[in-house]
Structure 1
């Protein structure tokens, strides 16, 4: 239970403006243990990249590190969906790869 409480607190107190490291699985390689690494000046940009740019198979193996805290794919999705997420979200159009901005209002959440 303590781990769940710590994780919930880390998600609640998350600093979207802090620098972030994103490790993502490389898709299509025989050795799935290889990771791609990207550094972002803001965690919000890393989260956006993970959700909106990475293939879903890469997201499943992703790890976001912010202020010595590590967040897996489910946490990254929660942070993106959170009402405190500071960037405009994009959604796919008709199941295609085209992403369009979407405004999130309190009634959408």
Structure 2
């Protein structure tokens, strides 16, 4: 298991695949929680296929983003703190 602090800055890459996401560049967020919320609530669903989120030393893919958003009740309620995911 890995732990990610959702309160630190993050860069979000969105695209239909990882190559496209990196080629289009990143969008910077003041917190990883804000980046995850944006990816899940505002970005086009197809863009999660190639999504990458860099926060600190961690890289998350679209599946990781979905898992945190859907499975972490504390994240959905507050969007704060460090969370553990598989």
Instruction: Point out where structure 2 has 5 or more consecutive residues left out of the alignment.
Output: 80-86
User: How much has 1:36 moved relative to structure 2?
Assistant: 3.8
CA RMSD in angstroms comes to 1.7
Question: Residue 64 of structure 1: SS of its match in structure 2?
Answer: strand
Q: Report 1 or 2 for greater relative contact order, CA contacts < 8 Å, sequence distance ≥ 6.
A: 2
Q: d(CA) in 2 for partners of 1:52 and 1:36?
A: 20
Instruction: Report the TM-score when normalising by structure 1.
Output: 0.60
**Structure having the larger proportion of residues in helix:** 2
Show structure 1 runs of 4+ deviating over 3 A. none
Report what 1:44 is aligned to.
Answer: 33
Q: 1:24 aligns with which of 2, 14, 38?
A: 14
Instruction: Point out where structure 1 has 5 or more consecutive residues left out of the alignment.
Output: 1-8, 27-31, 88-109
The structure with the largest alpha-carbon Rg is 1
